[in-house]
Each structure stands twice: as structure tokens, then as C-alpha cells.
Structure 1
Amino acid sequence: MQSLFTGNKRECPEPVRAEIEGHIPQWLQGTLIRNGPGMHKVGETVYNHWFDGMALLHSFTFQNGEVFYRSKYLRSDTYKSNIEANRIVVSEFGTMAYPDPCKNIFSKAVSYLANVIPDFTDNCLINIIKYGEDFFASSETNYIRRIDPRTLETLEKVDYTKYASLNLATSHPHYDEDGNTYNIGTSIAEKGKTKYMIVKIPNTKPETDEEKKKNTCFKNCEILCSIPCRSLLNPSYYHSFGMTPNYVIFIEQPFKLNILKMMTASFKGLNWASCLGWYPDDKTYIHIIDRRTKKPLTGKFYTDALVVYHHVNAYEEDNHVVIDIIAYNNNSLYEMFYLENLTLQNREFEIKCKTFSLPTCRRFVIPLDHAKTTELGSNVCTLGNTTAYALKEKDGSVYCKPEVLFEGIELPRINYDYNGTKYRYIYASKVQWRPIPTKIIKCDIQTRSCLEWREDHCWPAEPVFVKLPDGKDEDDGVILSSIVSTDAKKSSFLLILDAKTFKELGRASVSADLHLDLHGIFIPEEELQAKKQCADFGGADYN
């Protein structure tokens, strides 16, 4: 297990033809790009946390029943600086580093005074985001890197702060039917105020490469709404949000970033992760922002303390907003991924994992017209077919109690055509006593039944749904998951499942060093063709 987390993966910059077992649907044409940490050691220095490793992009390209694989490290400024120095010189969230190993307390003080808010890394290792017609590797800082989706080449760096005052931003945006992208970020202490900002990046289509380099779509960035942080110096951590046709859903949880501590972290030799605090006695607030008025709904909606990384979906029904999330009872997930925990011997790791808070898929139901209800202490949720309820209290606030839909699932994906609408299926990874997925699962919300895929010595990645062209049912399509084999005698592979039956259609095994990744995106071939790039995945390159 240790080498799977701490070993550096070899990149495969030239496309390699995969060996196919079963069959690949002919209609499946396009590229699956995934992102995640691939290098955890530079020279003699090692990152503290698995999420700190340098970004390694890899892709599976489907072409006429064949699959081609390639991978490349993101050539970020962080990567270049570390490789040039042959050691870690750029700090990540769980690892504090100093460019000069002889830096003393006085130079640290000067650095601290010059940088109240630290300059974050551009090691964009979490996801792939589409803005306009371009694709960007992203993490949760103010930096993203444009990439070539065909060659995985690293292109220019974009700084959110040049277009909106976002010091932090999520890696899980949303898209509307016009191709506009929505995201949420934190503006730290701007004009003495810390706030959460919801932004809309229009689907601008630059005509030339020069216009692309000028990031035209970001220049037209629109701030839809600002939400004041409940604590000026302790904004909530968040990883995603929800969106319906009329509303944006933001959960302000008691898993908070201590700004004062972060400002002095470098000076004190602390990593930024140590600046995150869990406050189990605090409430979790649910903000509902009306996209039409660009203002939060009046009233205060809250629930018990929880930690949420991934929203599943949200939709409107009978004057209620239904919100499905994957939630934990504490912040133990992040702690489990410190390399000192992941590299424990099996028995020690098993004991440690017993303290790990298992995720549950929870459904919250928010009544939009609760103000009309005057009776206190009663359930103001009138939506049927759920055990979730909402109690109105004396001060007018509404306490929301969720319904647990499923237990032990993470990395949820859906048919995105159903995002913001009533839906039935969740595709996810199944976790048990350890935070590493062992199964892929299809959850049927209507029947509460599940279908599973598993295989010995296999660690599956987040399942990605790709819809069947002209498909009529929600689950008409396939599921793609990159599978890392823990058996040295067995190659890693890309798994293709029928999304409806959850039966294996085929697999594409590759003689390459596949890594455990985080998130990704499937880009249909027609979108790649529309970009009119010079690179061509066909021809001699694949022979």
C-alpha cells in the first residue's frame, strides 16, 4: 500500500494503445481527462499529505472502438521550481516549505509582513473545469492552469484575483444550458470584510489564440451574490455547492479556516492545514441564493455540525428545495490522508481507520414559504415521500433534519443533464472501514436499492457517467472508472460499465503507471473538434 501513495508515478507523454477486453461502444467517442497527485517525493524531501502531491494529468481517448492512454505532469510554476531545486520549495496545504533552507527567523518575519495573505501554489491537482471553450486544471486556490485536452500540455496560468476578489475557489463548478460556468469562492478581508462570492463566467467564444491568452471569458466575470462570512477571520471551508434553475445552495459548515493563524503560519513554521479547525458545537448554515434577485432568501436555515465535501444534486419541488449531499460527522477524512497514516502497516491502518467517520448521503428539504407558517415547533416541510423535516423556532429560524438516503458512499456523480432537476440515480464509490474506495455503486433513490461492481485487488476511481446519444432514460449510457491494480501481476485498466445494468461491457488495460486520482471530466469528440486545435489523435501517433 505504501508505494501506491508515496511512490512517484512515471508519466506517459506519448499515447499508448490499450489492450481491449470485451468491447467498447462505437458511439463512445471523446476523451476522459482525470487529475490527481502523482509525485510525493522530490529529491530527499517528501510531502506530508497525499493531497499535496504534484498534479499528474492522465487521459483515455476513445476512437472507433479503441482506447489510447497518455499522462503528463502539470508543468506548473510549482512543479518547475521544485524540480529545478530538486526538493520541495513551494508550500502545499499540508506541507510548509521554504525556498531557502537557511532562511532564519528574521527573513521569515519579513516575508510574513510583506504577505498578509500568502501566495498560494498553482499545483492544480483536483479537477478539470471548463470555462468558455477551454479546459483548466484546478485546485482550491486562486490559480488555475489552462491545458490542451488533447496533448495534456500545460498552458498559461490564470489568477482569479485579477477578475474577482477570490483568494480561494472550489474545483466543482456548475454549468447552465448556455454553457456558462458558475463557481463560488472566498474573498478574505477585502475592505475589512470576509465574504463568500458566487460568480458567473460567461461562455465567451474567443476567435483567436491571442484572445484565448487574454482570457476573455474571465474579463466578463459577473458577481451574482456576496454572502458575509459569519466570522470575519474564520470563513468556512467548502469543496462544492449546489445549483437549481432558480437557486444556488451554499453550506457554511463549522469546519473553518483561521485567517490569523494562516497569516502567521509561515513565520511559525506551520502548514496551512493546521489552520483548519473543527467546531462540533457550532451550527451548519444552509444559504439559499435566488439567482433571479441575486440575493439570499430571508430567514435562517441550519442543521447540526457536519462536514461536507461533495454535493450530489439539488432540485425544486412543490415550493421546496431538495438538497442531497455527502456528509461526515467530523473532519477525520482529511486527517486520514496524511502519509504517516496511509503508510501504516495493515493492522495499524485498520485500527486507525476505525476512528474514521463514514460518509452518508443525506437529503435536506428546505421549505421556501416557511414565513407563512406561524405555528412554532411544527414541521414546516410539506413535501411528501421523505423523512426529512424542518422545524420553525421562536426566532424565526428553521432547524433542518436530514433523511439518510445511503451510507458509505463518496465521489458522487450523476447524469449531469439532470443536475438541478428531480433525478433518480447516483453513481459513486463505496467506502467501508478505510477511506479508499473498494467498489463502484449505482444507487437508486426511488427504490433505495443498489448495484455494485468490485474486483479483488482493485481500487476504483470516481465513476463518470457518459450519456448515450439520444438516450431516453436517465441511466442510458456508460460508466467510466480508472482502476488501479494492487496486484503486481495485473495491469491497471479503464473500466466501462453499462450504466443501466451495471454489467461490465469492457476494459482497456494499459502498460503504464496509473495513479490514484481525484476528479475528472469526459469531453465528447465534437467538443474537441469544435476547438479546431492542430493536434490530431489519429494517424501514425497511435501506431
Structure 2
Amino acid sequence: MVDGNKSGLQLIQANQRSQRCSKRRQHAQPLYLYTVNGSYEPSPYQLGYPHTRGILQSSLLHVLFYHSNCSCLCQSIYTSECYSLRFLSENMATDFSKNAEESPEPCKAEVKGSIPSWLQGTLLRNGPGIFSVGDTSYDHWFDGMAIMNSFAIKDGEVTHRSRYLRSDTYKSNMASNRIVVSEMGTMAYPDPSKNFIYKAITFLNHTVPDFTDNGASNFIKYGEDYYATSETNYIRKIDPVTLETQDKVDYLKYLPVNLATSHPHYDKEGNAYNFGTSIAEKGKTKYLLFKVPNVPALKNAEVICTVPCRSMLTPSYYHSFGMTDNYFIFIEQPLKLDILRMATAYMRGVNWASCLKFCPEENTVIHLIDRKTGKEVETKYYTGAMVVYHHVNAFEDDGHVIFDVIAYSDNSLYDMFYMSKLKEINNDLYSKPSYKRFVLPIQSDKGVAVGEDLVKLKYTTASAVKEKEGKLMCQAEVLWQGLELPRINYDVNGRRHRFVYGNSVEESALTKEIAKFDTETKEMVYWSEDNCMPSEPVFVPRPNGESEDDGVVLASVINANPGQSSFILILDGRTLKEVARAYVNAGLNKDMHGFFIPHGN
């Protein structure tokens, strides 16, 4: 038992019902209390259960332990002047509402291990970092204002820095000392003290919304420039070395797109390709596939293909798309954005995310676009209702286009990241994603009988059955369950791949493991460490590597172990064993996506 005088904690009472857990307690990992003197002390009751909550009330610190197996409540009450409770059990608790602190000055990290001499470049990571301003706070984790992290790797050393994205959203919120710019999951309302004219202008701005420029999702490279991006028509140019925020760019000045993905594709010449949604432009809502040439980038952006929307007022939401040497793959899924409901959301007192509707009774349409002609192929491809955020890769083989995606059966993932639900994670509501492989036969179905499967590949169970002339119903092969944030060796993008790196989310959307999946053997290899939360992994190939997985995997890791700093992790791409790590002298936050810039690019 902890010495009360030593730790500043005095045991007052222990609920006798906790004795019911005594047999299970001996197998649990210890919990730790974070005291005012900065030290971690084991709790008197070493309970490490999935549903654990700390509540600070006045001078009493109530520690509640809920054990789902025996349905009992175990309670210990302590007096303390400490202000935070840190649980370092197998199910690490993280305060997602805590604002991240920026560290704009470069700081050398402490390297353990040996960084390969060929690894020279900078890993950029982007994600939400500020969740409250003044007395206001965001309702959804995705809405937080962006913080960017940079890990510069040179000659075996690592230098870290971080900065807030100084977007117009950031400036407006900070100047008002409250959230005044609405995000997808958080509707901002004016200060009650503002006059009628100000409130009227705010209402009109939300009826025909001017979206945020809070680019907290990813980084995009257009030409020689790098941009922080989300999915609106605004992107922010940044300096990839200093992370300083530069120009605000509006897609609408170059292309009629109100929304665009944060996951473009790049060809070997450095040209970028992306998809955007044009809402009610000239009376039509449509999806635009556009190309941004390497030079001079956005000024010469051009529309390659226009795909009509199934419904003018309810376009599909999408987060990424696929590309092969000869085709683009665009999924029009039945997760829809209701434009009319968005226009009235402010008046009705709801957020824009509530205007997203999943329609499980509708099929998903798969659009296959010929890169040479810029037109859709004649055959129409369909599959059942699903929600896809991330494409893995796509390739061609013997008259077929094969594409891999991470798919969900519903839209519950977004709802899980509301701040109120992150505080009380209920894994019973978790919809585990499936790694699915679809196969689209390219050849004509003329002369093929209705009900016949046109897929002729021997290494997959995916099917594409003819329903009627020119229409195929596709069924995917499920390769794995519980993988997200997939990354491949981008050198094989658009061609057949074997290995996929990602986060294992088999038990929860909050990952604790990095995984490497072999699509041929169906084997999975993991990296994990107690009380550590790794980011999305980014694969960096070794120059002139001998195999697809010859390289390293980079990830930033939030480290909750006592007395240890967070770090950037370097793993061997073949074995997923640790090569090196670099401890940073700053806190790291859970983020979204990363982008590696090789030295000289």
C-alpha cells in the first residue's frame, strides 16, 4: 500500500464490494496516481479494467472502477491536493480534450539505437490540437484547431518542432477568446452580448456556409508547395521546414469545387490528382476529378472528368479514391450530405455533421474512369451499402481492376469521436472495419448470361455477377478485419502490392499497435509497447531497395510511461522490429495523417 505521507494521498474509505474482485485483481496491471510533486505512485488497489474513470470533486478524489465481468462497482476515495489522475493500465486513458502546446523552436531529440544512414528527410504530421478557447470547446475531436509536428532526420540525428496552423479560423477564435468559426461537428454561435446586426450576419454566413480553413487532416503537395488541408475548399500553404503558415488558397479560384479530399494521388512526373464536389454549380451537383500539374501547379489545374451526382441535393461523402496506371476508382457511397438541411442547421440549432445520413437500403456505386479518355467505362459496377474512408491501393491484372479499401458497415466511427463519447468509450458500440478487396472485370459483358461471375482471377474470392446488360453486382473478398490508416510503399502505388502497414483497431478505434499485413499469406505482424499510442505509420523505402518492404516505418508515439518522453519510432519495414527511436523534449498529441519529404525534395 502507498505510504500516505510520502505520496500526499490518504486512504479514507474503501468500498467493501471491491472484495468481490480480489481474484481478478491479482492479474490486473497496476494503476498510478499522479501527485502534485510530479511523481507516480501505485494505487492501493491494483485494478486495471477497461472502464475506469477518475473524478475530482472538491478535495476528494473518487476513483471508480467498473468491472464488466462481475458487474460490480469498486470504489476508493482519497483526499488529495493533486489535480490529475493518470491511469497507466493496459487500457491507457488519454485526455482528448487537452490543448496541445506548440514548440516552434527546433530541438534535438535523444536518439536510442542507430538510424540508417540513407534515411534523410522530414516527417510532417498533422492533426487537431486545440479543443477549447476561453469558455467554449469543440464538440467533436476532428474539429480541433490544427497543430503540425515536424521530425527532421539528418545524419543519424532527429530535430523536432511543432506549430499551430495560423489559419483565419485560428486568428478569429483567438481574437474573440471563444470559438466563433463553425466546424463540421461544432456549430459556433455569437457571443450573447453581440448586437442584432452581428447575429444576422452570422446567420446568413451559415445559411450559405463559408467553410473553415482549419486544415487539420493531412498535407498535400501541389508543384513545389506544401499545404495543410482538411476537406473544404480552403487549403493553407505552409513552410515545411519552419512550419510557418503562409498563403490561404481557395480552390474555387481555380476549380468549381466546394469540397475536396485530403488524399490526392501523384504520378511519377509529380502531377497531383484529386476529387472534389461541386454543389449546385449551374444547377447541377457533380463530382470533379482534377489534375494539378507539377509546374505551375494550381494556376493550371484542369478538370479531367465530371461524374454526375445521383441526387443533386444529397451528394455522397468520400475521403479518398483509387488510381492505377490506366484508371481512377471513385466510390459513390450511401453516406450522404443533405444540402438543404445544412442550410438550415444553424437556425435549427444543430451541427453540420447531423446532416450526414447513412442510407443502408441503397447500393454503393463504383465509378471506373479511363485515364486516357477521361470518361467512365460503359459497365456500371455496384455493391452493397458501406462506408469507406481510406483506399489502400488499386492495380490491374489480366483484364481486371482490383482495388482494396477499409470499409465499415455503418457511420458509427464518426460518432465515436464526439468528445462526450471519447470520455466514456464503449467498445460494445464499435464497428470494426474490414479490409476488402473488390475486382472489376474490364471486358464487355455482352454475350454473358445473367447470374454469371465475370471475375476470372484464381487468387481471390471476390466476384462480379451480371445482373443485367451493362450492370455488375460486386462482392468483395474480406482479407482482414481491424486495420485502419493503411499505408503502402508508394513506389508500387497503382501496381500490385503485397504489404500494407497500418494501425491495428481490432478492439477499439483508439489504436495501441502498428501492424504489417501480408496480402498473400494473410499474416499480420505487430509492434506495441505498454502505455504507448502510436500514430498512423508511414513507410519510407530504402533507395534502390531489394524488395517492396525494404525500408523503414515511421510513427510518432505518445508515451504515458512514468518519467519517459514521447518519441518518433523507426521500425524495420521487413520485420517490424525496432531500429531506433528519438525521444522529443515536448508533448505529442494524437493526430491524423503524415507526409514524408525526402531530403532534396
Q: CA RMSD in A?
A: 1.5
- Give the Å deviation of 1:217: 1.7
Match of 2:216 among 125, 134, 152: 125
Quote the residue 2:136 is aligned against.
45
Q: What SS does the corresponding residue of 1:295 show, helix, strand or coil?
A: coil
Deviations 1:147-190, CA, capped at 9 Å, x for gaps: 00000000000000110011000000000011000000100000
Residue pair 2:266, 2:273 contacting (<8 A) in 1 also: yes
Q: Does 1:236 align with 2:316?
A: yes
Q: Does 1:264 align with 2:338?
A: no
Quote the residue 1:255 is aligned against.
335
Quote the residue 1:439 is aligned against.
513
TM, length-normalised to structure 2:
0.83
- Give the Å deviation of 1:353: 1.9
Give the distance between the partners of 2:353 and 2:515, measured in 1 at CA.
31
Match of 1:343 among 423, 433, 451: 423
Quote the residue 1:207 is aligned against.
none
The aligned runs of 1:89-104 (5 Å cut-off) are: 89-102=180-193
Residue ranges of structure 1 left out of the alignment (5+ in a row)? 205-215, 528-543
Give the distance between the partners of 1:85 and 1:154, measured in 2 at CA.
20
The aligned runs of 1:29-428 (5 Å cut-off) are: 29-102=120-193, 112=203, 116-204=207-295, 216-344=296-424, 349=425, 352-394=426-468, 396-428=470-502
Residue pair 1:480, 1:496 contacting (<8 A) in 2 also: yes
Q: Does 1:478 align with 2:552?
A: yes
Q: Does 1:520 align with 2:600?
A: no
Question: CA 1:105 to 1:248, structure 2 compared with 1: closer, same or farther past 3 Å?
Answer: farther
Quote the residue 2:523 is aligned against.
449
- Give the Å deviation of 1:438: 1.2
Q: What SS does the corresponding residue of 1:354 show, helix, strand or coil?
A: helix
- Give the Å deviation of 1:101: 3.4
Give the distance between the partners of 2:346 and 2:93, measured in 1 at CA.
29
Match of 1:498 among 572, 592, 600: 572
Give the distance between the partners of 2:102 and 2:242, measured in 1 at CA.
13
Give the distance between the partners of 2:596 and 2:95, measured in 1 at CA.
25
Identical counterparts, % of pairs = 57
How many residues are aligned here? 510
Residue ranges of structure 2 left out of the alignment (5+ in a row)? 1-91
Give the distance between the partners of 2:438 and 2:371, measured in 1 at CA.
20
Deviations 1:249-280, CA, capped at 9 Å, x for gaps: 00000111000001111222221101100111
Quote the residue 2:67 is aligned against.
none
Q: What SS does the corresponding residue of 2:169 show, helix, strand or coil?
A: helix
Deviations 1:70-94, CA, capped at 9 Å, x for gaps: 0000000000111111110110110
Q: What SS does the corresponding residue of 1:12 show, helix, strand or coil?
A: coil
Quote the residue 2:30 is aligned against.
none
Q: Does 1:28 align with 2:119?
A: yes
- Give the Å deviation of 1:109: 6.1
Q: What SS does the corresponding residue of 2:600 show, helix, strand or coil?
A: helix
- Give the Å deviation of 1:395: 5.0
TM, length-normalised to structure 1:
0.92
Question: CA 1:462 to 1:373, structure 2 compared with 1: closer, same or farther past 3 Å?
Answer: farther
Q: Does 1:509 align with 2:583?
A: yes
Question: CA 1:9 to 1:107, structure 2 compared with 1: closer, same or farther past 3 Å?
Answer: closer
| Structure of greater Rg | 2
Deviations 1:489-533, CA, capped at 9 Å, x for gaps: 321111100101111001001120100010010001111xxxxxx
Which segment drifts farther, 296-305 or 67-76? 296-305
- Give the Å deviation of 1:481: 0.5
Question: CA 1:89 to 1:113, structure 2 compared with 1: closer, same or farther past 3 Å?
Answer: closer
